[in-house]
């Protein structure tokens, strides 16, 4: 049995809850039809559909094909559309554009330089699912929004990282891109 005070509290809670729901409904009603369409489009690529896409996984990336001075990196493409390049400190998104193709956007923030770089591109996985090719461009933007540099379209090669048996110790990864490390910077003497 409730006291009149408890009933009043419940009534206030009910009113506040209804007001909150009404406010949420009003906010949703104010969203433009275009915004709702773009959200629906992003949701069309369900995690279940993305999970089956051949790009999901971890890849070794030769970012600038044919440049022995550029070290390889890794990309992890998740089933929910996430993209991470831990070697470069980049994060981004990808979305399927077909059964073996996708578009992606990566961002790298360079706090010391006061810039960020946007890498925009497309990927295509070969029939084996073990290699992919990307074409991409790069735009470098200063903290104030000024474009300070841009890179023409380039090509990258992707090689799927596979589980290696523990007894493979002492052997390199097959097809891992070779590169020439930069010499260490000279330390000035006082």
DSSP helix/strand/coil, 14:
helix
Query: Of 38-42, 71-75, 96-100, 112-116, which gets the smallest average pLDDT?
Result: 38-42
Residue with tokens 């275009």: 34
Choice among 15-19, 43-47, 130-134 with the minimum mean pLDDT: 15-19
117 by Cβ neighbours in 10 Å (0-12 / 13-18 / 19+) ranks as buried
For the chain, the structural domain boundaries read: 4-35, 47-162
Q: What is the pLDDT of residue 174?
A: 86
pLDDT higher than threshold 50 for residue 133? yes
CATH architecture of 47-162: Beta Barrel (2.40)
What's the pLDDT score for residue 45?
54
Q: What pLDDT was estimated at residue 48? A: 61
Which pLDDT value is given to residue 190? 62
Q: Mean pLDDT, the chain, as a whole number? A: 81
Beta strand ranges found along the chain (DSSP E)? 57-62, 73-77, 82-85, 90-98, 101-110, 115-125, 131-142, 147-160
Kindly indicate the confidence band of residue 33, based on its pLDDT and cuts at 50, 70 and 90: very low
């Amino acid at each position: 049995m409730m006291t009149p005070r408890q009933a009043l509290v419940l009534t206030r809670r009910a009113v506040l809850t209804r007001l909150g729901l009404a406010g949420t409904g009003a906010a949703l009603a104010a969203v433009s039809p275009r915004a709702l369409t773009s959200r629906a489009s992003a949701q069309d690529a369900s995690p279940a559909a993305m999970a089956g896409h051949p790009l999901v996984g971890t890849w070794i990336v030769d970012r600038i094909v044919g440049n022995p001075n550029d070290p390889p990196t890794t990309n992890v493409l998740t089933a929910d559309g996430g993209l991470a390049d831990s070697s470069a400190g980049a994060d981004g998104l990808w979305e399927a554009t077909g059964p073996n193709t996708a578009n992606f956007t990566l961002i790298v923030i360079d706090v010391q330089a006061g810039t960020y770089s946007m890498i925009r591109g497309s990927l295509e996985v070969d029939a084996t699912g073990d290699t992919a090719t990307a074409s991409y461009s790069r735009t470098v933007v200063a903290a104030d929004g000024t474009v300070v540099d841009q890179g023409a379209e380039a090509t990258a090669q992707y090689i799927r990282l596979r589980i290696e048996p523990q007894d493979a110790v002492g052997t390199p990864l097959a097809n891992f891109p070779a590169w020439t490390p930069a010499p260490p910077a000279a330390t000035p003497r006082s």
